[in-house]
Structure 1
């Protein structure tokens, strides 16, 4: 459908995009751990997930959204908001 048949090319190829695509396909053959690459791997692979995990574990099981009324605390273990008194 989109390929060229019989000398007809419906899609114009951009040489810069083709070079970039070839480079991305073969990056594993030329990759080297430099100081910058190592710093990025440590930052984005260890430190950032560690911070997110720490935050998640800190706030895990502290809040209870089930059955809460407007104005009552979302913290677990706090008493529910008292029902308004009806005047007789």
Structure 2
């Protein structure tokens, strides 16, 4: 198939790609928390999820989709659309 047998290599290896691949496989062995890494972890691990959760909770508490009729407001706390027989 794709493997080399008997000295035959069907795929040409690029040393730069091999070095990059080796670095990516062993990054956990050489990782250190620097100011930049700490800032990125805090931003992407805490701030972005907190912002998304805040937006989700705000809009969840603002609108009510359950039992709404066509033409009535989706805002919470608004009365249902009156039926023609009530008018």
TM value normalised by structure 2: 0.75
Q: List per-residue Cα deviations over 1:6-53 (Å, max 9, x = no partner).
A: 111111111000000000011111110000000000000000100000
Structure 1 unaligned residues grouped into runs of 5+: none
Return the offset for 1:80.
5.6
Structure 2 unaligned residues grouped into runs of 5+: none
2:56 aligns with 56
How many pairs were matched up? 85
User: CA separation in 1, counterparts of 2:9 and 2:70?
Assistant: 64
1:34 aligns with 34
RMSD, matched Cα:
2.2
TM value normalised by structure 1: 0.75
